[in-house]
Amino acid sequence: MKFYTMLQVCRETGLSYETLKYYCNEGLVPHVKRDKNNRRIFSERDIKWIKDLDCLKKCNMSIQEMKAYLGLCLQGPSSIPQRQVMLAQKQTVLEAQITQLQASVAYIDWKQGYYDDVLAGRTDYVSNLLPYEES
């Protein structure tokens, strides 16, 4: 079995050294082995799990939520329904955020089009922030 150093795992996963060390210190990477110099070494399975942790973090899971998810994973298949509920709840939140982000992008698209039209002389500039002249 091949083992990887912390730096190799950081390169493979894109995590910073500090983040990987923090995850290990928080117990989020179970079963990590140590070499003869007491440095952490990681297996391929560890790397796959660390990539999963990174994805969970990008899904806005807190460290506590990640620990709870890990605890369920360590229970084996019996906890799959609970894990599905956790992930479904996170998915609902992420989908709402995507909708909000799409609306924000649509606003920026509209505003950029408006600015293009003003600069090209196709429309008059109107601002809600500047005082307007009454006719």
pLDDT reported for residue 134: 65
Give the 3-state secondary structure of residue 59: coil
Q: Is there a contact between 123 and 110 (Cβ–Cβ < 8 Å)?
A: no
pLDDT tens digits, 7-30:
999 999 999 999 999 999 999 999
pLDDT reported for residue 117: 97
What is the reported pTM? 0.82
Please tell me the distance from the alpha carbon of residue 52 to that of residue 54, in angstroms, as a whole number. Answer: 5
How big is the chain by its Cα radius of gyration, in Å?
A: 24
Q: Is there a contact between 13 and 27 (Cβ–Cβ < 8 Å)?
A: no
pLDDT reported for residue 135: 56
pLDDT reported for residue 40: 97
Sign of the CA dihedral running 64, 68, 69, 71: positive
Share of the chain above pLDDT 90, in %: 93
Q: Is there a contact between 42 and 72 (Cβ–Cβ < 8 Å)?
A: no
pLDDT at 61 over 70: yes
Q: Six-digit token pair at 98?
A: 């995507």
pLDDT tens digits, 62-89:
999 999 999 999 999 999 999 999 999 9
